[in-house]
Amino acid sequence: MGWVSVPTQHAAYAERAARECVGTGAGAQGPGADTLCALAQAHPAPQGRYTMYRCQHCALEFADPMLSPPAAWYGALYGALPLYPADRWEYGQVLQALGPPDTVLDHGCGSGHFLGLAAGRVRRAIGIDFSPAGVAAVRRRGLEAHVAAEGAADGIALSEPASHITAFHVLEHLPRPAALFELARALGTPSVQLWVAVPSDRRPDRLSGEADDLDAPPHHLTRWTPRALQALGEREGWQLRALHHEPLPWRQCVWEVGRRSRPVAALLAANPWPRPLRRGLARLAALALWAWGRHPMDQASGFSMLARYTLNR
């Protein structure tokens, strides 16, 4: 077990809240001062309370304590930042596997984007989420949804078991990750397929060792690797059947290479060259670096990785 130096989101936001006295709403750099103060009040853990550790066997990074924030904290954060995307790469991957006979349970359904897409393909689509307000919003869209408690199946009664269970960016929020697999066992058919999406271990910022406030406690209590996903599934009686990383479009890869390259940065800052010329030369330099592989992004992926499990028999 090794210690990992990861500045926690709570510490970063609390420090900024103490420093900023004005500002409302969310800016380009994240939440405004009013939201920062609301986050600090909703989850008043002292700075430095969270420590990140890395398992020497599977490279899972996890928080100590494994303490998730209350609903008010999530309400303040998600009310300030657009963290419910209307589309994700993993949605399309799962939708290809669904058919009219299926019953789908979407755990962590959020605002119901995936649930709405699945409802048109399957016999029944059901959502569950931690947030009562979120569940109410999903129901107003005419979709079926229920309130869940910390990933557990307690209080969730389905008239029929699910043939597919999805959890898109839920696992990293759970104080007890095994609860997701227990829920899937309790609410799925014997042949259920469990789809779990988490932030990729090969995202450009992870490969570059850059800090990401949103990929840190208390928002994310764990940071997963393929080995860790396999190990957790095996421990809970599930077999990892497939794992895929979201592709990184080459244009984005070129941009990621360019913004981390000193020569490209020097071109952008060069004077007295006209700005359009500087930008054009910088793009060409970044493209050349990407094409020649002289950068750390050759193994980079998009935002997510998607695991598919079935029960061991």
Span 44-65, pLDDT tens digits: 665 557 889 999 999 999 999 9
Q: Which residue has the tokens 């080995």?
A: 227
Q: Secondary structure of 36-62 in the HEC alphabet? A: HHHHHHHCCCCCCCCEEEECCCCCCEE
Question: Which residue's entry shows tokens 């935002």?
Answer: 303
CB 242 within 8 A of CB 307: yes
Q: Would you call 251 helix, strand, or coil by DSSP?
A: helix
Q: What is the pLDDT of residues 216-268, one digit of tens each?
A: 888 899 999 999 999 999 999 999 999 999 998 766 766 666 666 666 566 55
Three-class secondary structure of residue 167 per DSSP: strand
The strand pairing partners of 128, in sequence order, are: 107, 146
- pLDDT given at position 42: 74
Evaluate whether 36 touches 27 at the Cβ level (below 8 Å): no
Domains by residue range for the chain, with CATH: 2-80 (no CATH), 89-247+301-311 (3.40.50.150), 250-292 (no CATH)
pLDDT tens column, 141-177: 999 999 886 555 556 767 889 999 999 999 999 999 9
Return the amino acid letter for 133: A
Report which DSSP code applies to 63: E
Q: Residues 103, 162: contact at Cβ < 8 Å?
A: yes
* Nearest-angstrom CA–CA distance, 157 and 110: 19
Q: Can you list the positions of beta strands (E) in the chain? A: 2-4, 26-27, 30-31, 51-54, 61-64, 103-107, 124-129, 144-147, 162-168, 188-199, 222-223, 238-245, 304-311
For the beta carbon of residue 133, count every other beta carbon within 10 angstroms.
14
According to the model, what pLDDT value does residue 179 have? 93
pTM of the model: 0.80
Look at residue 5 and tell me whether its pLDDT is greater than 60.
Answer: no
> CA–CA separation, 35 vs 54, rounded Å?
31
